Structure 1
Amino acid sequence: MTFRCPAALTAPLLLLALLTGCGRDTDPAASPEPRAARPAPAAGPATTPPTAPPASSASSVPPSAPPSTPASPHPATTAPEPRPPSPVRPTARTTPAAPAPARTPAPVARTGGGGGRDGRATGTTLRIGGWSSGVVRGGQETIDACRDAVQWSGPDFGREDGYKMRTVVVVGHDYCGFGQFATLPVGTVVTVETPREILRYRVYARHLTPGRGTPAHGLYWGDLTLQSCVGPDTGFSYLVRT
């Protein structure tokens, strides 16, 4: 059985077939038409990439690490701790010397007042409290030597007599350490140690006269007179034996 299209449909079908055949390329060598490329999406406004900041000064560049020291091929060893020094034993050089004993020269014969040019030892020590000094006979040169108190005149200690003006006179410069001879308070006890005995004297009066080293004639009293300078003046302490 053959299907036949109605006449009303035949004409439109032919027209469609013709249009379809005209739209194709009849050249067998021609390649099929490529598809149009899909348009790229629209890009946004162009932006300028940020410019790298200029290189800063050498001070802002971090310093490079110092070259490392190559490790020693030998294993590290620990240095031994130092031993403390041995205590130094005192020797004769480091041991302080003992103080020299006080001079105790042998007594000499009695001499006249005023003394000689050289000091002559009497083996006598004069003590005032904790202070002491040797006593030698002598004159001005011995006084100026500043070594000992000087018995300027009078008999030996223990043979004095103030009532008969037999006064022992002991003097010394103030700048030699004998200034207290002129300023002893009344009542002060002075001890004199001689080779024969120990004598004690007590201050009963003082006197001050103008001038340094002025003549002291008539100013020696009592059993013992101690004399020294006091500033621009000369002072005397008078003592009686107890």
Structure 2
Amino acid sequence: MSIEFHDLRVDLGGHPVLTGIDLRIRPGRVTALIGPNGSGKSTLLRTVFGARRPTSGRVTVDGTDVAAIPPRKLARTVAVMLQDAPSEFDLTVHETVMVGRAPHQAAFSPERAVDRRAVERALRTVGLEAHAGRLLRQLSGGQRQRVMLARALAQEGRILVLDEPTNHLDITHQLEIMRLVRGIGITVVAALHDLSLAADFCDDVAVLHEGRVRAFGSPGDVLGAPLVREVFGVDPRPSTEDASGHRFLRFRPIAEPAPTRASAHE
């Protein structure tokens, strides 16, 4: 499914946070929203699942205005994983992921076989089926993030929205989460801080700066030196690859002089 933003404006507290956003997220692709803190990434994501209403303009999913989609139907279409730490630490992993089935269930209804199968599929996708009976608070940070991803997958939406899915994770778990996201095969839009993750795992990148889209395209086309210097205030260096073929971008402050040959051996 596609997502389109049509001349979108969002004001918070009487001040514009997003202005003139025209952007199309293509079906079946993984798209990163990147930009400095305060650039409007999370606000833009929230307009997709109806948590933030535009001041003007529209957000459409496959041509239908999000504002016209009933909330439960929208929740069955757009699955969401937010960066907020989960509070359900006294729930088991199975119970936590079952929360993702709420849009498909009647209020206070018991678990159905179809719901259990969806939870089992989601846990199998993230490799945690053996942990279904454990309490969430017993898991590591990386495992809890995978549970939150499973909860979103259990919604069975055709669009997945991720707000900083790798927040507070070490590099191993960051790569693990992004590998899982990459393999899902549906439309994914994710707010990311790490430009290396955006370059390595995403098909498209939208750069937000001061509430506007400054660039959109493939990582190779977008993450060039002039734009990175202007938006992020750093100087990009040539990318490197590890043994598994993952690409890592390197940066240094613009004002930092290049190391001299002599100082490199001191």
Q: Normalising by the residue count of structure 1, what TM-score does the alignment of the two structures yield?
A: 0.24
The structure number with the bigger radius of gyration is 1
- Where relative contact order (Cα < 8 A, 6+ residues apart) is larger, the structure is 2
